[in-house]
A = this chain, B = another copy of it.
């Protein structure tokens, strides 16, 4: 496995590789990332994983500085997973000057996460576009845990005519259902036990919807109340179409999404409800 930190070396190394898959990450890897890597490896001969904590997608009040950085451990995990190249550029490499070409995004970027994290998707889309142009993969894998991000990246690829296939990876969970996330590291022991309530709330809604309950508003409100009673601060719990437009009672292909704070840690999760 090669660790490459600059763009020219990466391009030189990948020059003759016809079939490259790519998994962009911010490091602090867990089983969720490794599962994306396994998916990626099924789709191409060479696999590149990037590790870069992207300042552009953090608002000034967010956790850019605290975001866990565990580079050496990440490298061991990726080596074990059979990754060919880790691309780990510095900020100087990716943002040698202030990034002034940014993507302006569709309304999908202003709902849900976009409402609560106004800089997030522009920062994500811009870095993903840059990384795509650097790596030039055939295939890139994004996790369903960041469901809205997955949809936006898919739409970006279509609208900008990028020659890349976007593949989705399932959300990895701990045994109690908690979606794996680097931000779980912020949780104290007792919070970690409580954290699975977000998943359980979404699962309850999913089961209710499958069993025919069409009072989406009531399902959402009950879940929010329950979380608040257990000390959470809820940003949203919402049942949407899988395209992330408002769901009506008889719609097929739904997704229930949630974002909520446990102390100072913001967690997100979602479950698809497909026919």
Chain A positions within 8 Å of B, measured between CB atoms, are 7, 11, 94, 97, 99-107, 122, 125, 129-130, 133-134, 136, 155-156, 159-163
Q: Are A155 and B106 in touch, CB under 8 angstroms?
A: no
Residues of B contacting A129 with CB < 8 Å? 160
Residues of B contacting A107 with CB < 8 Å? 100
In the assembly, how many copies of this chain are there?
Answer: 2
Residues of B contacting A160 with CB < 8 Å? 101, 129-130, 133
Q: Are A100 and B163 in touch, CB under 8 angstroms?
A: no
Interface CB pairs A-B, < 8 A, 6: A100-B105, A103-B104, A104-B104, A104-B122, A130-B160, A134-B161
> Chain B nearest CB: distance from A224 CB in Å?
30
Given contacts A99-B159, A104-B104, 9 further A-B contacts (CB under 8 A): A7-B161, A97-B159, A101-B106, A101-B125, A101-B156, A101-B159, A103-B103, A104-B122, A133-B161
Closest to A156 in B: B101
Residues of B contacting A11 with CB < 8 Å? 163
> Chain B nearest CB: distance from A226 CB in Å?
36
Residues of B contacting A163 with CB < 8 Å? 11, 133-134, 136
Closest to A159 in B: B101
A106 CA to B107 CA in the complex, in Å?
22
Closest to A100 in B: B106
A100 CA to B103 CA in the complex, in Å?
10
Closest to A98 in B: B106
A52 CA to B162 CA in the complex, in Å?
19
Q: Are B105 and A159 in touch, CB under 8 angstroms?
A: no
Residues of B contacting A106 with CB < 8 Å? 100-101
> Chain B nearest CB: distance from A51 CB in Å?
17
Residues of B contacting A156 with CB < 8 Å? 101
Closest to A126 in B: B160
A104 CA to B122 CA in the complex, in Å?
10
The 10 residue pairs across chains A and B that have the minimum distance between CB atoms: A100-B106, A101-B159, A104-B104, A133-B161, A102-B104, A130-B161, A134-B161, A133-B162, A101-B156, A101-B160
A162 CA to B163 CA in the complex, in Å?
13
